[in-house]
Amino acid sequence: MKYILVPTDFSPTAKNAYNFALEVAQARELPIRLVHCFLPDVDPAFPYLGVNSKEFLDAKQELIEKFKQHTLAPHDGGVMTRVEVETDVRPGYPTEEIVKLSREEDVALIVMGATGEHGLAGQLFGSVSTHISRKAHCPVLLVPNGAHFAGFKHILFASSYEAVHENVLKHLKDFAMLFGSSVHFVHVREPNDSTDYQEVEEKIFDFFFGEEDPVFAFSMDMVHAEDAVNGLNNYAKQRAIDLAVMVSPRRSFWENILHKSKTKAMALNTTIPMLVYHADE
């Protein structure tokens, strides 16, 4: 059975992402697998216990069960849902273990928290989330701290040649139809950008609407900006975007953004969740 994978380190950001995941899971009618991975070394929270001792593992299991149960306390920020939640505690490096789990056919989506010095984008680089969002074998939903689920009325899709991939567009179509979303296909034209955006637009239109009437509201926009992140950030603020969708072709998208982030602090709107698809999914 398909399920949503939710990694946790028990932090407030992870708690917020878990609450968000519960709402998404309820909408998609999927169970959740709540996973905590710990380094195969002495845990500073339990320095007196060996990592393989039964007492250590029992302590970890108790922590994750308490974390899971906070959903029953709405006054404490919990979410009342009927979502089935399974817990999983395992030794191993979080990035490696989560990527390994993402290879399972039943993993429909990973939902995890996003924090960092420079908000969402700052956290995306050089962190667990960066690695997982690039290497996972399923879509990854990154939830910034403070983001609360209220549906996805307006979705921003950062369109480019890499993004216009049949598998990605099918995922997007299903997602938009499920949540009744309007989709904004946005291409940022930077200085010296010679991309033929009309060709990109035609590919998108042909896939979604070539043989049928539109099944969701949409717009196609070109934004002129000095760099892609600023262009998307400004567009998101102006259009009250609820979710930003990016496509990672495993290398070029992230490395391009990362290169630019060295010269200026950047962030997509830190209250907007980001859904990352992969061109080869």
Lookup: tokens for 83 = 């979502």
**154-249+257-274: what CATH class?**
alpha beta
Output the pLDDT for position 202.
Answer: 84
Would you give per-residue pLDDT tens digits along the chain (281 residues)?
899 999 998 988 899 999 999 999 999 999 999 999 987 565 555 555 555 567 778 888 999 999 998 754 554 555 566 899 999 999 888 899 999 999 999 999 999 988 644 444 444 444 777 778 888 999 999 998 889 899 999 999 987 756 677 888 888 999 999 999 999 999 888 887 777 778 878 888 888 877 777 778 888 898 888 878 888 888 998 999 999 998 876 555 555 554 444 333 334 556 789 998 887 76
Output the pLDDT for position 125.
Answer: 40
Lookup: tokens for 176 = 């938009």
Domain boundaries along the sequence of the chain: 3-144, 154-249+257-274
Output the pLDDT for position 158.
Answer: 86
CA quadruple 112, 136, 1, 38: dihedral, nearest 10: -60
pTM, rounded to two decimals: 0.84
Whether 186 and 225 have beta carbons less than 8 Å apart is answered as no
Whether 36 and 88 have beta carbons less than 8 Å apart is answered as yes
The order of strands in the sheet holding 154-158 is 85-91, 32-38, 3-7, 107-114, 140-144, 274-278, 243-248, 154-158, 182-189, 218-224
Output the pLDDT for position 88.
Answer: 95
Q: Does domain 3-144 have CATH number 3.40.50.620?
A: yes
DSSP state of 71: G
Q: Do domains 3-144 and 154-249+257-274 have the same CATH topology?
A: yes
Whether 60 and 38 have beta carbons less than 8 Å apart is answered as yes
